[in-house]
Structure 1
Amino acid sequence: MTGRSRGPRTAGEVTLLLSSDTPIEGRKMSFVNDLTITRDGRKIYFTDSSSKWQRRDYLLLVMEGTDDGRLLEYDTETKEVKVLLDQLRFPNGVQLSPAEDFILVAETTMARIRRFYVSGLMKGGADLFVENLPGFPDNIRPSSSGGYWVCMATIRSTPGFSVLDFLSERPSIKRMIFKLFSQEMVMKFLPWYSLVLELSDSGAFWRSLHDPDGQAAIYVSEVHEHDRHLYLGSFKAPFLGRLSLQSV
């Protein structure tokens, strides 16, 4: 049984908060992805990337481009779950703002980040935080400058040829590719170019960090800033990377 769990670090016990077997507004969760928690611990906001595909099938989700992803809210006191945003295309990383008035959600296959307001005059509304990103965003984390770090799972070649952009409007070719090749084989056609962006609190581009050949990190999916260093995770590489921000 899978779902959102929690447990004290020292107790060795895990409490299941929400089972993926439980339908939420008529649909079960299949690909629970990222989460962000309010400071008081009451609300947990998380993404379910697809109600059809599971984590191991992420490339099929990318290629199919389905809009069955959701942003959800779990109340730890009432145990209630609400759907905040629906019909998202591969919702991935999610991050509360420092003031906890909105949530950022990476919509990976659309190369954009959505913003959903959870308090204030705009409560319940949503808009685009940034779009037409140079890569396909994965997780989002706060930066010490007051903005956000966004890691690109892979880039879009601009200028140049982007496999994913090319296939996005050609579903028949995508279906043929996955009949002929495995997911691992398809991954070999994706660039190893690693890219991390720092965005302002309004979505403006502040700076970018590049590893064109993927020599230090490939397929960066997680970025965390601590003590003037960035810690980089990958959904493929079996290690963590550390980068000194004083050296860039």
Structure 2
Amino acid sequence: MFTGTADGRIIKIENGEIETIARFGSGPCKTRDDEPTCGRPLGIRVGPNGTLFVADAYKGLFEVNPWTREVKLLLSSDIPIEGRKMSFVNDLTITRDGKKIYFTDSSSKWQRRDFLLLIMEATDDGRLLEYDTETKEVKVLLDHLRFPNGVQLSPEEDFVLVAETTMARIRRVYVSGLTKGGVDLFVENLPGFPDNIRPSSSGGYWVGMSTIRANPGFSMLDFLSERPYIKRMIFKLFSQETVMKFVPRYSLALELSSSGAFKRSLHDPDGQVATYISEAHEHDGHLYLGSFRSPFICRLSLQSL
């Protein structure tokens, strides 16, 4: 298993052993303010040749050889795309032949360390982009997204799903076939704010929910969405760390069908085991749960459910 860490590393976990195989930035890496120099690997995918394709929030797109530790920069965040710099490279998904990478830039204004400000402001400057690994060309597939986050190609590779976190919905962007260039809603009004999207063994998709929208009950983000003056007041008075203490620890992962219908949901109401789920990754009968806050990965046996 490979994962990114808060201190900017790509690590390999095998037989209980942890090994660092890559780092894109340099230390020290102790606080959120160190992230721009340390780097923050987010989305990771395995390519057709076994190399890792990685989206780093601050540095851009990379290819990593897990055997030789060779690191290759594919696309720097410093390069403007259609006149705008990428400030928050987030997740990626790659075609089976390795020729196309679809990835999200969550904002042209806010960086990952300021993700709460991005959510509160509900900025619509996020984009879904396509990178051609052969020609090195980059193009924008969809603009004016509010915190685009996780992405996932369909099994037929005819469309890409993109989680629009602030809007609690998932968009579908057609990238091949007769409907190429078309966009529609895959699912909306989700019970939480979606993060990464990954395939499930049933042919559908797992969606990690970064936090929930209480229903019935009070959802702070929903309440504040129509009250920008209160948002401004909150961040003048409190730090992001203080605001996070008011975010529910309720953990939720959803399994959706291939058409976007709800199949099942997994809950940890008090966040006793897992909190702030960023990804649910299925492998060999287990579901691995990552978090953007917790310093560990959870493994859940799906056969025991």
Q: Provide the TM-score with structure 1 as the length reference.
A: 0.99
The reply to whether residue 211 of structure 1 matches residue 263 of structure 2 is no
CA distance in structure 2 between the aligned counterparts of 1:202 and 1:60, rounded to whole angstroms: 32
Please name the residue that 2:107 is paired with: 50
Partner of 1:177: helix, strand, or coil?
helix
CA-to-partner distance for each residue in 1:128-173, whole Å, 9 max, x for gaps?
0000000000000000000000011000011111000000110110
CA-to-partner distance for each residue in 1:186-207, whole Å, 9 max, x for gaps?
0111110000000000000001
More moved, 58-67 vs 1-10:
1-10
CA distance in structure 2 between the aligned counterparts of 1:20 and 1:246, rounded to whole angstroms: 42
Q: 1:10 offset after TM fit, Å? A: 1.7
Partner of 1:224: helix, strand, or coil?
strand
2:94 aligns with one of 32, 37, 40: 37
Partner of 1:217: helix, strand, or coil?
coil
5+ long unaligned stretches in structure 1: none
Please name the residue that 1:21 is paired with: 78
Q: 1:12 offset after TM fit, Å? A: 2.0
- After superposition, residues 61-140 of structure 1 pair within 5 angstroms as 61-140=118-197
CA distance in structure 2 between the aligned counterparts of 1:207 and 1:32, rounded to whole angstroms: 30
Aligned-residue identity in percent: 82
RMSD: 0.7
Please name the residue that 1:5 is paired with: 62
CA distance in structure 2 between the aligned counterparts of 1:26 and 1:158, rounded to whole angstroms: 41
CA distance in structure 1 between the aligned counterparts of 2:294 and 2:72, rounded to whole angstroms: 30
Aligned AA (1:200): S
Partner of 1:218: helix, strand, or coil?
coil
Q: 1:2 offset after TM fit, Å? A: 1.4
More moved, 193-202 vs 10-19:
10-19
1:164 aligns with one of 217, 221, 225: 221
Partner of 2:73: helix, strand, or coil?
strand
Partner of 2:275: helix, strand, or coil?
coil
2:230 aligns with one of 173, 178, 198: 173
Aligned AA (1:222): E
Partner of 1:92: helix, strand, or coil?
strand
Q: 1:3 offset after TM fit, Å? A: 1.2
CA distance in structure 2 between the aligned counterparts of 1:20 and 1:33, rounded to whole angstroms: 11
Aligned AA (1:25): E
Runs (4+) off by over 2 Å: none
Partner of 2:224: helix, strand, or coil?
helix
CA distance in structure 2 between the aligned counterparts of 1:74 and 1:93, rounded to whole angstroms: 16
Q: Provide the TM-score with structure 2 as the length reference.
A: 0.81
Q: 1:124 offset after TM fit, Å? A: 0.6
Taking CA–CA contacts closer than 8 Å with sequence separation of 6 or more, which of the two structures ends up with the larger relative contact order? 1
Please name the residue that 1:224 is paired with: 281
Q: 1:11 offset after TM fit, Å? A: 1.9
Number of residue pairs the alignment of both structures matches? 248
Q: 1:7 offset after TM fit, Å? A: 2.6
CA distance in structure 2 between the aligned counterparts of 1:241 and 1:117, rounded to whole angstroms: 33
CA distance in structure 2 between the aligned counterparts of 1:2 and 1:197, rounded to whole angstroms: 30
CA-to-partner distance for each residue in 1:9-59, whole Å, 9 max, x for gaps?
122221111111111000000000000000000000000000000111000
CA distance in structure 2 between the aligned counterparts of 1:57 and 1:43, rounded to whole angstroms: 29
